[in-house]
Structure 1
Amino acid sequence: ITVCTCHPAPQQLVQMGYFPCSPVYPMLAVSLDMLELVSTLFVLAVPNERAWATTITKYLKNRGHEFATGDALQRRFSSTLSQYQVLMQLVDGEMGKIIDDAR
């Protein structure tokens, strides 16, 4: 993506279907579909972000992608997932208010 002040990276990433790990200079962006999958999985199974991130890290390493530090993906993914889940709770709350007001 091309970043400028009129089109910040996080805005472009969201428009492309990705959720940035940071609202300013994201180093990782995760597919919104993937975040929804993991959120649903963690409702139905014991949440284990470290195991999830370790699995993805090994999967990507086997395909030639590596991270600077071993826990880089885990930290960024955990942060991204938490921010996504908070945002979804806020959206659900606002939608509930709109529905209640319409009744």
Structure 2
Amino acid sequence: MRRKMKRRRSKRMRSKRNSRMKRRRKTRRRVRTRTWRRRMKRRKMRRKRKRRRSKRRMKRRKMRRKRKRRRSKRRKRRMKRWRTRTRRRRRRTRRSRRKRMM
């Protein structure tokens, strides 16, 4: 692996950087005031507060969800028949193969 060579910075670049750093140091740090704390507390409480849920509304929602899932009975029957048929066939074939091997 090749090692990265450290680039030597010129004096001018260094001085620029230092001046920038000085400026950053001079900026006043924001002190957390009482009003700020209160505001944050209120926000927190708002998040924690539980919304009241009415039973009627909840029931309606539930019904809507169920409605989406509903399928016709005819379709269900068809699906069932198809599944059972395939399963039985598979089982029979497997058994016969085993017997052949024996």
TM-score, normalised on structure 1?
A: 0.33
Rg larger in 1 or in 2?
2
Task: State the TM-score, normalized to the length of structure 2.
Answer: 0.33
The one of the two structures with greater contact order (alpha-carbon pairs below 8 A, sep at least 6) is: 1
Would you tell me which structure has more strand in proportion to its own residues?
A: 1
